[in-house]
């Protein structure tokens, strides 16, 4: 239950601002309202969901500037993890990073932006996981979850997409070589490429005050949109 709701939010299936209906979620997953409320309150603690009296539960909408702020935090945490991961990573970790990069390459060749976005996260996970720092990685994952619904790597111009993919290839090579300083320099530059896009790209939040609500029982949400 918890993972299903979280995944729908992180993957952008349920966009920021959507109303999460306890009764509909319970019916969709064939459970009582108690585990649904427990899952939603956990997600409130993670920052993915907000709860307001009389309005109920909604997917968190970031204010202007918050996405860029979270990206800065994410970049700092990733660099801290990479500094240790490159030193501790062994042959198995390098093999995992190569596999993740191959999946990334396939998505790039297919022109599948959503899959590329997904595999990019898997690649970064493969690079940071060898750090063996569960608390840091846990915070890193939660921050990534908060930024993921905004999909900063979607709708890229071909030149931008190529530059980011080159970044990933260079990161893999430096990781394979065990070059800590090169990995950190490349990761910092890669992060700045993304951060620059985040700072100039408008947030794609759903409207805060819906004109019309349409119930989507398969997702357990009410999406918002204007009448045509």
Write the CATH number for 78.
1.20.120.530
* Pair 47, 116 in one domain: no
| Nearest Cα to Cα of residue 81 among 123, 122, 140 | 140
> Quick one: CA torsion of 140, 146, 150, 154, rounded to 10 degrees?
20
**pLDDT bucket at 204, cuts 50 / 70 / 90:** low
pLDDT score of 218: 36
Write the CATH number for 33.
1.10.10.10
pLDDT at 46 over 80: yes
* Pair 40, 75 in one domain: no
pLDDT score of 78: 98
**pLDDT bucket at 138, cuts 50 / 70 / 90:** very high
* Pair 53, 165 in one domain: no
Beta bridge partners of residue 213, listed in sequence order: 224
Q: What is the 3-state secondary structure (H, E, C) of the chain?
A: CHHHHHHHHHCCCCCCCCEECHHHHHHHHCCCHHHHHHHHHHHHHHCCEEEECCCEEEECCCCCCHHHHHHHHHHHHHHHHHHHHHHHCCHHHHHHHHHHHHHHHHHHHHCCHHHHHHHHHHHHHHHHHHHCCHHHHHHHHHHHHHHHHHCCCCCCCHHHHHHHHHHHHHHHHHHHHCCHHHHHHHHHHHHHHHHHHHHHCCCCCCCCCCCEEEEECCCCEEEEECCC
pLDDT score of 227: 39
* Pair 47, 101 in one domain: no
pLDDT score of 203: 65
Note down the domain range covering 15. Answer: 2-61+205-225
pLDDT score of 162: 85
* Pair 16, 79 in one domain: no
* Pair 125, 165 in one domain: yes
pLDDT score of 186: 97
* Pair 56, 76 in one domain: no
Domains identified in the chain, total number: 2
More confident residue, 225 or 6: 6
pLDDT score of 165: 87
pLDDT score of 206: 42
Query: What is the percent of the chain where pLDDT is above 90?
Result: 57
* Pair 92, 172 in one domain: yes
pLDDT at 56 over 80: yes
* Pair 170, 86 in one domain: yes
Q: 221-225 and 56-59 as β-strands: parallel, antiparallel, unpaired?
A: unpaired
pLDDT score of 213: 33
Average pLDDT on 86-95 reads 97
pLDDT score of 175: 98
Q: Count Cα neighbours of 31 within 13 Å in the Cβ-side half-sphere.
A: 14
The chain-wide mean pLDDT, for the chain, equals 86
User: Which tens digit of pLDDT belongs to each residue from 147-202?
Assistant: 988 877 777 777 887 888 899 999 999 999 999 999 999 999 999 988 888 887 76
* Pair 193, 210 in one domain: no
Which of 19-23, 55-59, 91-95, 154-158 comes out lowest in average pLDDT?
A: 154-158
* Pair 73, 171 in one domain: yes
User: Which tens digit of pLDDT belongs to each residue from 208-224?
Assistant: 433 233 333 334 444 44
pLDDT score of 143: 95
* Pair 45, 99 in one domain: no
Which of 45-59, 117-131, 214-228 comes out lowest in average pLDDT?
A: 214-228
CA 127 to chain centre: 16
């Amino acid at each position: 239950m918890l993972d299903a709701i979280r995944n729908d939010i992180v993957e952008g299936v349920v966009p920021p601002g959507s109303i999460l209906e306890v009764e509909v979620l319970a019916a969709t997953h064939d459970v009582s309202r108690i585990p649904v409320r427990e899952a939603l309150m956990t997600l409130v603690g993670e920052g993915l969901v907000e709860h307001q009296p009389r309005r109920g539960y909604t997917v968190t909408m970031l204010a202007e500037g918050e996405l860029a702020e979270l990206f800065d935090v994410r970049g700092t945490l990733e660099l801290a993890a990479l500094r240790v991961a490159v030193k501790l990573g062994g042959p198995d970790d390098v093999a995992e990073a190569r596999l993740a990069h191959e999946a990334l390459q396939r998505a790039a060749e297919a022109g599948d932006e959503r899959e590329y976005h997904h595999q990019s996260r898997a690649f970064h996970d493969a690079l940071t996981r060898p750090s063996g720092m569960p608390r840091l990685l846990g915070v890193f994952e939660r921050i990534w979850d908060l930024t993921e619904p905004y999909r900063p790597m979607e709708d890229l111009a071909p030149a931008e997409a190529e530059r980011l993919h080159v970044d990933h290839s260079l990161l893999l090579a430096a990781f394979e070589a065990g070059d800590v300083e090169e990995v950190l320099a490349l990761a910092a530059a890669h992060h700045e490429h993304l951060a620059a896009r985040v700072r100039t790209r408008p947030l794609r939040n759903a409207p805060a005050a819906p004109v019309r609500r349409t119930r989507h029982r398969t997702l357990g949400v009410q999406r918002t949109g204007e009448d045509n």
